[in-house]
A and B are shown apart, each in its own frame.
Chain A
Amino acid sequence: MTGTNHKIRIESLNVNIDGQHILKNIDLTIPGREITCVIGPSGCGKSTFLKSLNRMHDENPDVNVSGSIFVDNQDIYDRNINVIDIRKKMGLLAQHPCPLPMSVFDNVAYGPRIHSLDSKKEISKTVEHYLRLAGLWDEVKDKLHSSAAPLSLGQQQRLCLARGLATEPEYILGDEATSSLDPISTKKIEQLFVTLKEEYTIILVTHILRQARRLADYIVFMYLGEIIEAGPADEFFNNPKQQLTKDYIAGSFS
């Protein structure tokens, strides 16, 4: 994985849902091995944008996607591309943790198993590795084979992160991944993201400006389905170019 030049290049991406124009002519380049935060007011299309990156819109026939998204120079909307490979490559951490109806162990082993990444012998090592990485190992090592359902929300979210990472993605997409968590769990997940950007390219949707300030190397600001401004975080926060951006940062609307 290391060595390849991560990058996402989006060219005239348009998304229509039920005839409504939700994402309008998005042109954007997202830098590799950094944390990019997508911010903007509620309903501006952040989740829709994220879903177009792992082709989850394929599941809804009311959604029409046009344009190109090049991930590592490969258009993921190309007809010859297998959507399974795309979803494996673009790991998604959803807003609400959703463990699978199986044991803690099997949750983490799920991805490696369906993609046959590990042999039977290796799998318990893999599970331990990713549970440790997600900072959950010590809390669950004695109940690996009991259900994941009774875990706390924060634990469930870290389990989902471990599960996602075990699937060996190269990109991590987070859709307000900390919004249902308490401050301590949030902090743990945020620290994880910072560690993970060494190896992964991370794209986080958030509507908490402070979180974006804490984490982002690169910012994408969306408003009503359009990208108003995108750039390195320092520049974005200290020297915004658009009036709308200035207003948003100042908190005059949210």
Chain B
Amino acid sequence: MKKAEENIFKVFMIIAALIIIGLLLFILGTIILKGVPALSWNMITKLPGGGFYLGREGGVLNAIVGSLYVIAGAVAISIVISLPLVMYINFYLPHKSPLAGIVRFSFDILLGVPSIVYGAFGFALMIFLGMRASLAGGIITVAMLITPIMMRSFDEATKLMPRDLPDSLLSLGSTKYEMIKVIMRQLMPGFVTAALLATGRGIGDAATVLFTAGYTDNLPGSLSQPAATLPLSIFFQLGSPVAEVQNRAYASALILTFLILILSFAARYFSSKFSRNRL
């Protein structure tokens, strides 16, 4: 009987694993199969020319650069907000503090808000501030989208800390700030993973940038000018009646995937250098 139970459970686990892996392979396979033929040097080095969306020459450099600008700005803002907040609720507030509970709960709710709502909210905020669709608007809105993810995954990452470490540091006469600096070395890989999670979520989201960052075939020249982004570029290319352009959408998706891959390798490389003496 026990044996049967275990076997049934095993079968379920294997099926679940297969579904996930299959889905991933299917998505990657589609992108690669359709995207690779359309991929060219021009795609990543050229701006869209006239009639690009109807099959003429050009590339998506505008969207690559725009996406990188938007995500860099958003991640920077998000880290500046999340990191001190997480340090505060974990290391300055007492353990069972109700305030920490309230903060976590609020962010859990924000985590469930769909990105289109952030888009709409960001848009309303921009109208209120008298801003037009721009790089700055996109950065702020994407920062709103990813901050709950950033904050909650930083928060989870702090749980990987050896229990005795803060006490050891304090009993050597460290101040709280000195203590946190050392703890950061230990937690850095977890924080990097958390930041990457948020980066991936932010760089791939279309709904937040739709109204707020706008779209342009040129490179964004300043914070107040509109910026193209890869998700929207993919959206517009997919909407083209020309099959060749639709395939370029898959090539763009491939580029997006590669961008995330490169970012994640780079981040992991530097974080492992920084905390090579981890416990």
Instruction: Using CB atoms and an 8 Å cutoff, list the residues of chain A in contact with chain B.
Output: 54, 56, 59-62, 84-85, 87-88, 91-92, 94, 96, 98-103, 106, 110-111, 114-115, 146-149, 160, 163-164, 167
Residues in chain B near residue A56, CB distance under 8 A: 167, 170-171
Cross-chain contact A149 with B168 (CB below 8 angstroms):
no
- Could you tell me the dominant secondary structure of chain B's interface residues? loop
Known: A60-B94, A102-B185. A114 touches B275 (CB 8 A): no
Q: A162 vs B109: C-alpha distance in the bound complex, in angstroms?
A: 48
Instruction: Choose the segment among B79-87, B133-141, B174-182, B194-202 that binds chain A (4+ C-beta atoms closer than 8 Å).
Output: B174-182
Interface range on chain B (Cβ under 8 Å from partner): 20 to 34
Residues in chain B near residue A115, CB distance under 8 A: 173
B183, chain A: closest CB distance, angstroms: 8
10 A-B pairs with CB atoms under 8 Å apart are A59-B170, A84-B174, A84-B175, A91-B172, A101-B182, A111-B172, A114-B175, A114-B178, A147-B277, A149-B279
Q: Which residue of B lies closest to A102 (CB)?
A: B277
Residues in chain B near residue A62, CB distance under 8 A: 94
Cross-chain contact B173 with A167 (CB below 8 angstroms):
yes
Interface string of B91-130 (1 = CB under 8 A from A): 0001100000000000000000000000000000000000
- State which of B170, B182, B186, B279 has its C-beta within 8 Å of the C-beta of A87: B170
Is B241 part of the contact surface with A, judged by Cβ < 8 Å?
no
Instruction: Using CB atoms and an 8 Å cutoff, list the residues of chain B in contact with chain A.
Output: 94-95, 162, 164-165, 167-175, 178, 182, 185-186, 275-279
Cross-chain contact A98 with B94 (CB below 8 angstroms):
no
Cross-chain contact B186 with A101 (CB below 8 angstroms):
yes
A150, chain B: closest CB distance, angstroms: 10
A87, chain B: closest CB distance, angstroms: 4
A20, chain B: closest CB distance, angstroms: 16
- State which of A94, A99, A149 has its C-beta within 8 Å of the C-beta of B171: A94
- State which of A91, A99, A114 has its C-beta within 8 Å of the C-beta of B174: A114
Known: A87-B171, A164-B172. A98 touches B276 (CB 8 A): no
Q: Which residue of B lies closest to A113 (CB)?
A: B178
Q: A110 vs B175: C-alpha distance in the bound complex, in angstroms?
A: 13
Known: A94-B164, A149-B279. A102 touches B172 (CB 8 A): no
Cross-chain contact B167 with A94 (CB below 8 angstroms):
yes
A67, chain B: closest CB distance, angstroms: 21
Q: Which residue of A lies closest to B93 (CB)?
A: A61
Residues in chain A near residue B186, CB distance under 8 A: 101
- State which of B167, B171, B178, B276 has its C-beta within 8 Å of the C-beta of A147: B276
Q: A167 vs B275: C-alpha distance in the bound complex, in angstroms?
A: 24
A47, chain B: closest CB distance, angstroms: 11
Among B167, B277, B278, the one with the most A-chain Cβ atoms within 10 Å of its Cβ is B277
Residues in chain B near residue A101, CB distance under 8 A: 165, 182, 185-186, 275, 277-279
